[in-house]
Amino acid sequence: MKVFTSVNQLGDLNQALKEAFEIKKNPFGNQELGKNKTALLVFFNNSLRTRLSTQKAAMNLGMNVIVLDVNQGAWKLETERGVIMDGDKSEHLLEAIPVMGCYCDVIGVRSFAQFKSKEDDYNEVILNQFIKYSGRPVFSMEAATRHPLQTLADIITIEEHKTKARPKVVMTWAPHPKALPQAVPNSFAEGMDMAGYDFVIANPEGYDLAPEFTKGVTVLHNQDEALEGADFVYAKNWASYEQYGQVLSQDRSWTVTSEKMALTNDAFFMHCLPVRRNMIVSDDVIEGPRSLVIPEAANRVISAQTVLKRMLESL
Ligand code: CP
């Protein structure tokens, strides 16, 4: 595997899950693969889970790891070509990327949507420059439009907890004070399509995701109706796609509470974290016995290790 920017690049999902569960059973079984190999993890944005779980995955594979926080300690980077660099940015991404490639064997990149231009965000301008100019296999650690390592961890978690072949999974929008990207919900929708679950999205009017991610999916603007009979509730906030990057609502009636969970089939609660308590989800639901947020975060090591192992096999 040379590029991982979408769960679709996993190919056969059952095969990927088989590899993931083998890794979970025997996390140190492939240390020879990573010996004398270096993973460079480049962060343009903050992270707790991705940073730690991807480092742990690389270490489990016997790799060395370098972490670069672009905005803390590195030169400020210009990302657009043609700019006269007479401001505060000292280095251009077009030199910085091939230089980074000199110091590693694989590169992970975290680069969120900037909400300045829908076109630039949906064309994944920064991630694609790493793919084009680094000369190394590149994997996304959440980009503008997708978060595939999170989605793979989510699917692993559902597979571990489902009690029927085709559970009903409801992804519901929930309120948040800031504009958040659509990467997690877009990617989750792709993953649900691959997994073939009974998948429903609930969001207020004005929050429909990009049509390329919701083809054939039931999208309801009534959360209570969507939650009926759900086996898994996946909560997430995202900013409007139609009115790109705008926060159109902070309607707290969409917060996932125990009253909302009572509409479900005793559903498990999921969220990728970090989560704003009592905006997205009430304390009692996230702390309750059906909350999967911690096992989901733990599975981030397994998803990262599955992808890194495939990248090492391709070197
Ligand atoms: N879920 C997730 O990607 O968490 P971080 O932003 O902390 O990495």
Q: What is the number of the ligand 1 atom nearest to the C-alpha of 149?
A: 3
Residue 150 Cβ inside 6 Å of ligand 1? The answer reads: yes
Residue 298 Cβ inside 6 Å of ligand 1? The answer reads: no
CA of 296 to the centre of ligand 1 (A): 11
Residue 97 and residue 133 in contact, taking contact as beta carbons nearer than 8 Å: yes
What is the C-alpha to C-alpha distance for residues 159 and 172, in angstroms, rounded to an integer?
20
Residue 47 Cβ inside 6 Å of ligand 1? The answer reads: yes
Residue 172 Cβ inside 6 Å of ligand 1? The answer reads: no
Q: What is the number of the ligand 1 atom nearest to the C-alpha of 147?
A: 3
Q: Whose CA is nearest to atom 4 of ligand 1?
A: 49
Please give the backbone phi and psi of residue 216, each rounded to the nearest 5 degrees, phi first. Answer: 80, 0
Residue 52 Cβ inside 6 Å of ligand 1? The answer reads: no
Cβ neighbors of 296 (< 8 A, separation 6 or more) are 153, 154, 157, 270, 271, 272, 273
Q: 151-296: which CATH topology?
A: Rossmann fold (3.40.50)
Q: Residue 153: how many CB atoms within 10 A of its CB?
A: 27
CA of 229 to the centre of ligand 1 (A): 29
Q: Residue 21: how many CB atoms within 10 A of its CB?
A: 15
What is the C-alpha to C-alpha distance for residues 111 and 146, in angstroms, rounded to an integer?
10
Q: 3-146+300-313: which CATH topology?
A: Rossmann fold (3.40.50)
> HSE on the CB side for 147, CA within 13 Å?
25
Model pLDDT for residues 30-81, shown as the tens digit of each residue: 999 999 999 999 999 999 999 999 999 999 999 999 999 998 889 999 988 9
In tens digits, the chain (315 residues) has pLDDT values of 999 999 999 999 999 999 999 999 999 999 999 999 999 999 999 999 999 999 999 999 999 999 999 988 899 999 889 999 999 999 999 999 999 999 999 999 999 999 999 999 999 999 999 999 999 999 999 999 999 999 999 999 999 999 999 999 999 999 999 999 999 999 999 999 999 999 999 999 999 999 999 999 999 999 999 999 999 999 999 999 999 999 999 999 999 999 999 999 999 999 999 999 999 999 999 999 999 999 999 999 999 999 999 999 999
Q: 């296999």: which residue's tokens?
A: 137
Residue 45 Cβ inside 6 Å of ligand 1? The answer reads: no
Residue 272 Cβ inside 6 Å of ligand 1? The answer reads: yes
Residue 199 and residue 183 in contact, taking contact as beta carbons nearer than 8 Å: no
Q: 């495939």: which residue's tokens?
A: 310
What is the C-alpha to C-alpha distance for residues 185 and 166, in angstroms, rounded to an integer?
20
Residue 140 Cβ inside 6 Å of ligand 1? The answer reads: no
What is the C-alpha to C-alpha distance for residues 238 and 210, in angstroms, rounded to an integer?
12
| Sequence ranges of the chain with CATH classification 3.40.50.1370 | 3-146+300-313, 151-296
Residue 187 Cβ inside 6 Å of ligand 1? The answer reads: no
pTM, to two decimals:
0.98
Q: Whose CA is nearest to atom 1 of ligand 1?
A: 272
3-state helix, strand, coil in the chain (%, to 5): 40, 15, 45
Q: What is the number of the ligand 1 atom nearest to the C-alpha of 297?
A: 1
Distances (CA, A) of 294 to 10, 16, 286: 24, 22, 10
What is the C-alpha to C-alpha distance for residues 266 and 271, in angstroms, rounded to an integer?
16
